[in-house]
Structure 1
């Protein structure tokens, strides 16, 4: 329970206060503690990452870029309640006053459990680049990912954790300057599965972008048998309902249930060793047969992170969002 003094302080520290006594349990700036300064951030990485090269990092992300992001974007970490669990989320938005409402990108991360957690560094790279183009970027860390939060729940890899994505809709509506009528969904790797599952329940999403996306978890397991360990650990009652549970998580099995007028952008590297490019090419074929609006972009020679075509990918995404969020 917040005291009156604490609540008053909260109002002065962050623009995201409207839900402080509703879904939001706590919130603070991402630029906190060691992340308040560039040197603190670098020192944190040097102490926690075994192969951290400060010279290489500084060339890639200089202090001037850090200061620019800090000065031009709000970055807020928050804890919200879903199904009685405390789940962590975050958002980034431009600070500067604008003469129009800002469209939203709901970003769904990859990985499972704590793996794939969106760190401060990740927020300041891809998500910040999107936000700098005039978007509010919001995401969930999913239940079961935050070791420092009590009652955090368990990641079911496309099960009840999809509720964590859907629940962000109520939070989005309270963000200052938000255009809650213009929302896109974007997922990377496992996050694409989250996105496909979520939009079945959110028919007003304007468009969906899937990067290195999983479209058939049966196929994924055949290509990477180690994934079955994840399924056994994460998916409730997996051993007794294997076929049914995997089908539920495979959009290739139910693409006809997606909102018919929601354009889909598929981006994939053809040398992706984690999620084979066939996930996107086959889904594109299914969408074509359904006459569902879509575009497929394959980046030759690129990997799961599209590191070789990073800027081309970002330009493609921003151009797509500018077309369908208006």
Structure 2
């Protein structure tokens, strides 16, 4: 527990805030030895509401009206303007794990409450955290002034099909608990 608390305190005290994500890996963004890479959540297809909507409507077959009702553009813009969000990859006992960290922009010089968000489910695609999950659960918590950290756990179906690394094993509450603690 002390290690987890230390990790949160390091994030709160050492992250140098900027309006745009670093273009190269910067260990000061998530200052923990096990973190090997990170990326701003608002990059790629999520860099704008329009590109995210187009990906979901044209790429995934979601009805546009349903998307707009479920994910209002005004909320997307508010989260992008007020919440810093990173997806990151970290190593735990020779396997790689993906996670997220979110916190309110501009409040890093203050002590903030921290929330560890443990996703439910097992190693099926529908039980992994996606941007839509962040939209409903993580962003509102960060908007309220919290640091939110979550892990996909080992064995999660979050790696591309051509991934050659070790993504861990989902033991349904077994050894992957270490992924959360790390």
TM range, smaller chain: 0.7 to 0.9
Report the structure, 1 or 2, having the larger helix content: 1
Deviation readout 1:44-71 (Å, 9 max, x if unpaired): 2124434x22112213322221111001
Structure 2 counterparts to residues 268-307 of structure 1, below 5 A:
none
Structure 1's 16 and 10: CA in aligned 2 closer, same or farther, altered over 3 A?
A: same
Measured on the aligned residues, the alpha-carbon RMSD in Å equals 2.1
Write the distance in 1 (CA, Å) between the matches of 2:63 and 2:23. Answer: 42
Q: SS state of the match for residue 125, structure 1?
A: helix
Counterparts in 2 of 1:186-265, with a 5 A limit? none
Relative distance call for 1:29 and 1:15 in structure 2 (3 A) is farther
1:160-182 alpha-carbon deviations (Å, 9 max, x no partner): 11111111xxxxxxxxxxxxxxx
Matching residue within 74, 83, 89 for 2:93: 83
Does the C-alpha gap of structure 1 residues 8 and 49 become closer, same or farther in structure 2, counting only changes over 3 Å?
closer
Aligned 8 A contact 1:114 1:144 in 2: no
Q: Pick which of 133-142 and 92-101 moved more.
A: 92-101
Q: How many residues align?
A: 156
Matched, 1:25 2:36: yes
Q: Distance in 2 between matches of 1:48 and 1:76?
A: 24
Out of 140, 164, 168, the position equivalent to 2:179 is: 164
Instruction: Report the 3-state secondary structure (helix = DSSP H, G, I; strand = E; otherwise coil) of the residue aligned with 2:171.
Output: coil
> Structure 1 CA distance, aligned partners of 2:81 and 2:54?
21
The correspondence of residues 130-169 of structure 1 with structure 2, limited to 5 A, is: 130-145=141-156, 146-148=158-160, 149=163, 150-167=165-182
Equivalent of 1:54 in 58, 64, 69:
64
- Unpaired runs of 5+ residues, structure 1, are 1-6, 168-326
Q: Secondary structure at the match of 1:10?
A: coil
**1:75: how far off?**
0.7
Question: Take 2:112 and 2:123, find their aligned partners in 1: how far apart are those partners?
Answer: 31
**1:142–1:17 distance in 2 versus 1, CA, 3 Å:** closer
Contact 1:10/1:17 (CA < 8 Å) preserved in 2?
no
Matches within 5 A, 1:28-39: 28-39=39-50
1:99, CA displacement in angstroms? 6.0
2:112 paired residue number: 102
Partners of 2:85 and 2:109 in 1: how far apart? 21
8 Å contact kept, 2:25–2:37: no
Gaps of 5+ in 2: 1-21
> Distance between the aligned counterparts of 2:77 and 2:37, measured in 1?
25
* Cα pair distance change 1:67/1:143, threshold 3 Å: same
Q: Find the aligned partners of 2:134 and 2:167 in 1 and give their Cα distance.
A: 21
Structure 1 residue ranges (4+ consecutive) displaced by more than 6 angstroms after TM superposition = none
